[in-house]
A and B are shown apart, each in its own frame.
Chain A
């Protein structure tokens, strides 16, 4: 049995990363040139890793499914990026950022990893600023900050409502510099379809060229997955519609443990679903909760126009339930509270599945111009999509699938249970426990890519300097390529009547209803059977037009949906196993009389890492106990 060794360095929490770096093995510049590294994904983490490893002198190959690395979905992150600069003099510190994340994650993340993420956050801001990322500034020329959910300080750096775009384009520019120098080779429009292991180590990947349909082999001394999360398992989510879990899932099938798959963040402020044709849900940044007040009518089924409902008939339910944090409670708390109001019949809009996010008071107090400066592009986007002007009436919002805290299990070095296979940010499980706080994903993505992986991968590769360039002409590559080709043939040969998208929608509905914001044993068991049944139908009635050796987007979708069935089963299995409520994982059986989530630290203070035993077989559970040396584990309260 594989033993989970998180490799957390000895010593006091604040010294662990420094002491790790002091002892980590180094690779000399001449040897770096002889070492190949594959990076899958070009988001903030992937492009950051590829460019920093390129700067160091490694020979990097970077892959993305988009036509350009600049389009990875980090581009859509809106509100901001956290750092413990304490520019506001409001009592912030690295420790406080760390503590907020540990508490925000409901004490289900590893102390040492989270502390390190907070520790490198300031370097990230310095680096982005040096690269010309145009963060918002005040009239004195200094960087501005705002506050975000789950915290009481203002530590969020931002560029209007498109911070992710600006950070990603900054990272893309550093990647371009390395491509230009020849240290990074870029492979766009490629999708990773399998991982290749040689003697138990990750040594390459099989990709499909999405333009020619050609199956390609690529080898390296180490592989880094920065392939993102699996929020599109719900079909409708805030992610890009082509975002998928296949790279991480293939790695799981090849032996990488998958940790806490049921921990999925449902974001509280998305534009509600408007119709059945919808392909995605559009996020409205959490930063809006700084100035917007969330409410529903006090009367059930109140169909009056929001502006006609007088102040005393409005229920500002977050301010009522959580006076200390009010509208800035963490995402999981805000999402569940919205669901509770709507389920109880107080929802607004035609479907009743929405709540108001109202800027009336903020506009009266600060003026329209101030609000426009902060959120102008978000207000415009909202009006474009819904036809409603949020300067004049409240936005309508509802929770939507967003970020996946679960992912491949990694140790302190961000290495999975497969030697030489690293996984960073959303594709791993590491820093956010059971719930992620706003503006911490851009922070973790840049930290992992720029400031952490360059050290930890060096520690691994120092032992690989005698390994010559890996040949792709081996039995292992033959076998992996054959498996990929057979699966493509199989998908094309079904020739049924239902499209991959239609199956995806049906799968998403099951997951949203039974493994979404609220879960219970009966529902989860039912969902497991439903997913199995639907998967059977998929393999007998799918239709994929066209051929394999060509640009074929339906074939791409079909492959991703096929993997989602398997992942969905693991998510449900994990949700069933964890009989406590924690963070975003709400088990109805485990709640306080007031309806708040109730943890069970005695039985569940562990990371659930699942080992694949092969398709159709039950996965095996490994537990990594979470030990808190620094913080006192207590009930997470925002009241």
Chain B
């Protein structure tokens, strides 16, 4: 199949980027989207041109490295999957495919499609942990956890930190990302001790880093490749309010 690729090219953080359009005719519907880009890059290299820089690693939907805005959607038009799981059979022959990096003030572009997501790490290190030193843990069965709570904590914990929620949001809000971590620990008895402090520190850091506010459009949930629920945002708001008033 043949496609027209409209790709954001930007030499470095300071350069002014622009869209470049390329025809690419050697596409097989069996390729994954990233394998198509690999093949396209090989073509560019052999023509003496610079390949398109993009982040990727595990290519099985779990590391959260790949992050592209494809045809107006983070991770492309198919819901519930990451860019690396997109297949070319999901596109039409002759289609124009527009590929951009995430757009958010807190995620500056490094080169082409690569962005700097260290803001996410900074939020996590403000409070996304339970302070338990190595060697101090009690016997694992000394604290039973209601199965429903354990399952809900797991469903929040599967966030891969890709940033699609921020990219999807018109305000570039990181509420879904932050609330997933806050919820995981708020649902577990182990996380209760530091719950109040955690939610306040993580929210404060999120605000500091230039992420926008949540206006309940739920675009984040719709575009999250792991389908993390916005009920986590409601839970975080409750946690935050309780922490403030108590």
The docked-state distance in angstroms from the alpha carbon of A216 to that of B22 is 37
Chain A 474-509, CB-CB to B under 8 Å as 1, else 0, gives 000000000000000000000001010110000000
- Tell me if A388 counts as interface (CB < 8 A to partner B): no
Which B residues are CB-close (under 8 A) to A174? 129, 132, 134
Of all chain A residues, the one with the shortest Cβ separation from B189 is A132
Interface residues of B in 28-50 (CB under 8 A from A): 28, 30-32, 34-36, 38-39, 42, 44-46, 48-50
Judge whether B137 and A127 touch: CB under 8 Å: yes
The docked-state distance in angstroms from the alpha carbon of A136 to that of B145 is 10
The verdict on A132 contacting B153 (CB below 8 Å), with A497-B46, A543-B46 known, is: yes
Q: List 17 A-B contacts (CB under 8 A).
A: A52-B134, A67-B117, A76-B62, A123-B135, A131-B132, A132-B188, A132-B191, A134-B188, A140-B144, A142-B144, A165-B160, A174-B132, A176-B121, A186-B121, A279-B34, A497-B46, A499-B46
The verdict on A75 contacting B110 (CB below 8 Å), with A134-B157, A502-B42 known, is: no
What is the distance, in angstroms, from A388's C-beta to the closest C-beta of chain B? 13
Of all chain B residues, the one with the shortest Cβ separation from A553 is B53
Judge whether B55 and A67 touch: CB under 8 Å: yes
Which B residues are CB-close (under 8 A) to A211? 110
Interface residues of A in 500-549 (CB under 8 A from B): 501-502, 543, 545-546
Of all chain A residues, the one with the shortest Cβ separation from B143 is A129
The docked-state distance in angstroms from the alpha carbon of A546 to that of B158 is 37
What is the distance, in angstroms, from A413's C-beta to the closest C-beta of chain B? 18
- Tell me if B131 counts as interface (CB < 8 A to partner A): yes
Which A residues are CB-close (under 8 A) to B42? 499, 501-502
- Tell me if B24 counts as interface (CB < 8 A to partner A): no
Judge whether A282 and B60 touch: CB under 8 Å: yes
Chain B 175-215, CB-CB to A under 8 Å as 1, else 0, gives 00000000011001011000000000000000000000000
The docked-state distance in angstroms from the alpha carbon of A135 to that of B143 is 13
Which A residues are CB-close (under 8 A) to B30? 274-275, 277
List chain A positions with a Cβ less than 8 A from chain B: 51-52, 55, 66-71, 73, 75-76, 85, 87, 123, 125-127, 129-132, 134-143, 159-160, 162, 165-166, 169, 172-174, 176-177, 179-180, 186, 188, 211, 240-242, 274-275, 277-280, 282-283, 381, 384-385, 387, 450-451, 454, 497, 499, 501-502, 543, 545-546, 550-551, 553-554
Which among A140, A142, A553 has the highest number of chain B CB atoms within 10 Å? A553
Judge whether B59 and A241 touch: CB under 8 Å: yes
Of all chain B residues, the one with the shortest Cβ separation from A135 is B150
What is the distance, in angstroms, from A362's C-beta to the closest C-beta of chain B? 21
The verdict on A177 contacting B129 (CB below 8 Å), with A67-B55, A67-B118, A545-B45 known, is: yes
The docked-state distance in angstroms from the alpha carbon of A252 to that of B32 is 36
What is the distance, in angstroms, from A60's C-beta to the closest C-beta of chain B? 13
- Tell me if B146 counts as interface (CB < 8 A to partner A): yes
Judge whether A127 and B153 touch: CB under 8 Å: no
Of all chain A residues, the one with the shortest Cβ separation from B120 is A68
Judge whether A172 and B124 touch: CB under 8 Å: yes
Judge whether A169 and B157 touch: CB under 8 Å: yes
- Tell me if B6 counts as interface (CB < 8 A to partner A): no
Of all chain B residues, the one with the shortest Cβ separation from A449 is B134
Cβ 8 A contact of A381, one of B45, B60, B121? B60
The docked-state distance in angstroms from the alpha carbon of A66 to that of B56 is 9
- Tell me if B85 counts as interface (CB < 8 A to partner A): yes
Starting from the known contacts A73-B63, A176-B129, A387-B89, 13 additional A-B residue pairs (CB-CB under 8 Å) come to: A67-B65, A68-B118, A73-B58, A129-B137, A130-B136, A132-B191, A134-B157, A135-B150, A140-B144, A143-B141, A159-B157, A384-B61, A451-B134
Which A residues are CB-close (under 8 A) to B129? 131, 173-174, 176-177
Which A residues are CB-close (under 8 A) to B62? 75-76, 162, 165
- Tell me if B8 counts as interface (CB < 8 A to partner A): no
Which B residues are CB-close (under 8 A) to A173? 124, 128-130
What is the distance, in angstroms, from A96's C-beta to the closest C-beta of chain B? 19
What is the distance, in angstroms, from B83's C-beta to the closest C-beta of chain A? 12
- Tell me if B219 counts as interface (CB < 8 A to partner A): no
Which B residues are CB-close (under 8 A) to A75? 58, 62-63
Judge whether B60 and A76 touch: CB under 8 Å: yes
The docked-state distance in angstroms from the alpha carbon of A176 to that of B201 is 14
The docked-state distance in angstroms from the alpha carbon of A67 to that of B153 is 26
Cβ 8 A contact of B51, one of A143, A159, A275, A554? A554
Judge whether A131 and B130 touch: CB under 8 Å: yes
Please give me the 4 A-B residue pairs with the lowest Cβ-Cβ distance, nearest first.
A141-B144, A130-B137, A173-B129, A176-B125
Interface residues in B, total, Cβ within 8 A: 77
The docked-state distance in angstroms from the alpha carbon of A240 to that of B134 is 29
CB contacts between A and B, total, < 8 Å: 207
Judge whether A240 and B130 touch: CB under 8 Å: no
Of all chain A residues, the one with the shortest Cβ separation from B133 is A55
- Tell me if B64 counts as interface (CB < 8 A to partner A): yes
Judge whether B150 and A136 touch: CB under 8 Å: yes
The docked-state distance in angstroms from the alpha carbon of A275 to that of B38 is 14
Judge whether B185 and A240 touch: CB under 8 Å: no
The docked-state distance in angstroms from the alpha carbon of A497 to that of B45 is 9
What is the distance, in angstroms, from A541's C-beta to the closest C-beta of chain B? 12
The docked-state distance in angstroms from the alpha carbon of A188 to that of B61 is 21
- Tell me if B222 counts as interface (CB < 8 A to partner A): no
Which among A126, A139, A543 has the highest number of chain B CB atoms within 10 Å? A126
The docked-state distance in angstroms from the alpha carbon of A426 to that of B140 is 27
Judge whether A127 and B132 touch: CB under 8 Å: yes
Cβ 8 A contact of A85, one of B32, B128, B140, B160? B140
Cβ 8 A contact of B58, one of A76, A134, A137, A139? A76
Which B residues are CB-close (under 8 A) to A143? 140-141
What is the distance, in angstroms, from B191's C-beta to the closest C-beta of chain A? 5
Which B residues are CB-close (under 8 A) to A76? 58, 60, 62-63
- Tell me if B57 counts as interface (CB < 8 A to partner A): yes
The verdict on A277 contacting B140 (CB below 8 Å), with A68-B120, A131-B190 known, is: no
Judge whether B35 and A278 touch: CB under 8 Å: yes
Which B residues are CB-close (under 8 A) to A553? 51, 53
- Tell me if B70 counts as interface (CB < 8 A to partner A): no
Judge whether A280 and B60 touch: CB under 8 Å: yes
The docked-state distance in angstroms from the alpha carbon of A145 to that of B191 is 23
- Tell me if B103 counts as interface (CB < 8 A to partner A): no
Judge whether B57 and A137 touch: CB under 8 Å: no
The docked-state distance in angstroms from the alpha carbon of A137 to that of B149 is 10
What is the distance, in angstroms, from A489's C-beta to the closest C-beta of chain B? 19
Judge whether B161 and A68 touch: CB under 8 Å: yes
The docked-state distance in angstroms from the alpha carbon of A172 to that of B123 is 13
What is the distance, in angstroms, from B56's C-beta to the closest C-beta of chain A? 7
- Tell me if B91 counts as interface (CB < 8 A to partner A): no
The verdict on A551 contacting B114 (CB below 8 Å), with A129-B190, A279-B59 known, is: yes
Of all chain A residues, the one with the shortest Cβ separation from B81 is A384
Chain B 208-233, CB-CB to A under 8 Å as 1, else 0, gives 00000000000000000000000000
Which B residues are CB-close (under 8 A) to A139? 147
Judge whether B63 and A134 touch: CB under 8 Å: no
What is the distance, in angstroms, from A444's C-beta to the closest C-beta of chain B? 16
Judge whether A240 and B31 touch: CB under 8 Å: no
What is the distance, in angstroms, from A637's C-beta to the closest C-beta of chain B? 34
What is the distance, in angstroms, from A497's C-beta to the closest C-beta of chain B? 7
Judge whether B140 and A125 touch: CB under 8 Å: yes
What is the distance, in angstroms, from B1's C-beta to the closest C-beta of chain A? 13
The docked-state distance in angstroms from the alpha carbon of A347 to that of B218 is 47
Cβ 8 A contact of A283, one of B31, B46, B49, B60? B60
Judge whether B111 and A551 touch: CB under 8 Å: yes
Judge whether A132 and B65 touch: CB under 8 Å: no
Interface residues of B in 89-138 (CB under 8 A from A): 89, 110-111, 114, 116-118, 120-121, 124-126, 128-138
